[in-house]
Amino acid sequence: MNKKYFLVLVSAVLVALLLVACGGQAQVETVTVEVTRIVEVPAASTDTGQTGETTAMPSAEGNTLQTVRDRGTVKCGGNQSVPGFGYINPDTNEFEGFDIDFCKAVAAAALGDATAFEIRPTTANERFPVLQSGEIDVLIRNTTWTLSRDTQLGADFQPTTFYDGQGMMVRKDSGITSLEGLEGGTICVQSGTTTEKNLADVFRAQGINFEPVVFDDADKTREAYDSGQCDGFTTDKSGLVSQQILLAEPDAHVILDETMSKEPLGPLTRHGDNNWGDIVMWTVNCTFEAEELGIDSTNVDTFLGGDDPVVQNLLGEAGDLGAGMGLSNDWCYQVIKQVGNYAEIYNRNLGPDTPFDLARGLNQQWTDGGLLYSPPFR
């Protein structure tokens, strides 16, 4: 066994021991399977090209739907410090946000109950290991779909729920209006993200010298910028809009127009459990399709009993589309009724009545010039 295999094996066994110590028989069994798979990783494939990411192959076996049914809840990896996306509302102590609503949607599809979910908050560095180990069923946490993540982290990306790009925030009174204005400056950035690598690539390509100031979670990164430790603060533009409201003086900052990268954000399931992947994929598509057809949580019941075959299929009144995934045929009806269509999810968390008032941009229906496009429900 080479050194890399050995180290991965030792850390996997440690995780297994930790889980035994914490109790929970189902988790322990899952991790035991993982150990067998992890040692098969070839040493050559451990560099994902992203800092802070650990390569590991997932369990090819496993039936996440059955695990979820036995447990009675869907466990989602999420965020706790990104308002609008994944955040603990201090008034209610509940998780809220766009990503959290997609977790609820998966629970509605898989269990018929949008409240049957749990959130495991994760930092950027933690998110892939908790998916790989089986601690969570699905990761829904502003995670960018990249080739290396898709092929080297034992994960399968499901449809993009939010098309984003990396941005840069600066203080208004700095007078900086473009990335070039940051020449010789310091930039606050979070580790374990695409952000960190894009920053280096874009600044190198443009010949801009800078010093990264790196932190391992969102709060520390924002606080460092807010306290004046950095001239710029970079992450996904959605993340910047979200973090801006937490700054001491939100209006004293501006997000530059430049977009430094493509950041398609969406859910991830474990590679190898294709049925569970299908469930998450079609749950997202259900929210797209419902919006396209004008069906939402408030009017869905008025569509029942109609004679449009497209609607009948979507709501499970005709055909057998749920059965192919091991679900009841009304799974998408439950998603729409209990959580809503894509526009409802977007507006509830990011729309005009929220502090973010984020324009839909690329996140519009394909019929409105955006990128949201569900394959047919037939």
Ligand X SMILES: N[C@@H](CCC(=O)N[C@@H](CS)C(=O)NCC(=O)O)C(=O)O
Residues that bind ligand X (CB under 6 A): 79, 81-82, 123-124, 142-144, 190, 193-195, 217-218, 235-236, 239, 263, 265
Closest CA to 133 of 155, 114, 118, 112: 155
Q: How far is the CB of 199 from ligand X (least distance, A)?
A: 11
Q: 99 or 344, CB closer to ligand X?
A: 99
- Identity (one letter) of the amino acid at 257? D
Euclidean distance between CA atoms 84 and 80, whole angstroms: 10
Beta-bridge mates of residue 253:
171
Q: How far is the CB of 216 from ligand X (least distance, A)?
A: 7
- Three-state secondary structure call for residue 354: coil
Please return the burial class of 326, using the count of CB atoms within 10 Å of its CB with bins 0-12, 13-18 and 19+. Answer: middle
Q: How far is the CB of 319 from ligand X (least distance, A)?
A: 36
Q: How far is the CB of 145 from ligand X (least distance, A)?
A: 9
Euclidean distance between CA atoms 310 and 285, whole angstroms: 14
DSSP assignment of 59-73 equals: -S---HHHHHHHHTS
Q: How far is the CB of 122 from ligand X (least distance, A)?
A: 8
Q: 117 or 145, CB closer to ligand X?
A: 145
Q: How far is the CB of 150 from ligand X (least distance, A)?
A: 12
Give the angle 92-98-104 at the CA atoms, nearest 5°: 75
Q: 187 or 311, CB closer to ligand X?
A: 187
Structure token pair of residue 207: 């010949």
Q: 62 or 77, CB closer to ligand X?
A: 77
Q: Classify residue 310 as left (phi > 0), alpha (psi -120 to 50) or beta.
A: alpha
Q: 143 or 313, CB closer to ligand X?
A: 143
Closest CA to 285 of 127, 133, 160, 194: 160
Q: 263 or 292, CB closer to ligand X?
A: 263
Q: Which residue has the tokens 């469930």?
A: 279
Measured CA to CA in angstroms, residue 375 lies from 9, 148, 203, 283, 286 at distances of 41, 25, 38, 12, 10
Contact yes or no for 160/236 (Cβ under 8 A): no
Q: 283 — phi, psi (to 5°)?
A: -65, -45
Euclidean distance between CA atoms 309 and 97, whole angstroms: 33
Q: 187 or 295, CB closer to ligand X?
A: 187
Q: 203 or 215, CB closer to ligand X?
A: 215
Q: How far is the CB of 306 from ligand X (least distance, A)?
A: 40
Q: How far is the CB of 119 from ligand X (least distance, A)?
A: 12
Q: How far is the CB of 295 from ligand X (least distance, A)?
A: 30
Euclidean distance between CA atoms 54 and 77, whole angstroms: 17
Q: Which residue is nearest to ligand X (CB)?
A: 239
Q: 98 or 303, CB closer to ligand X?
A: 98
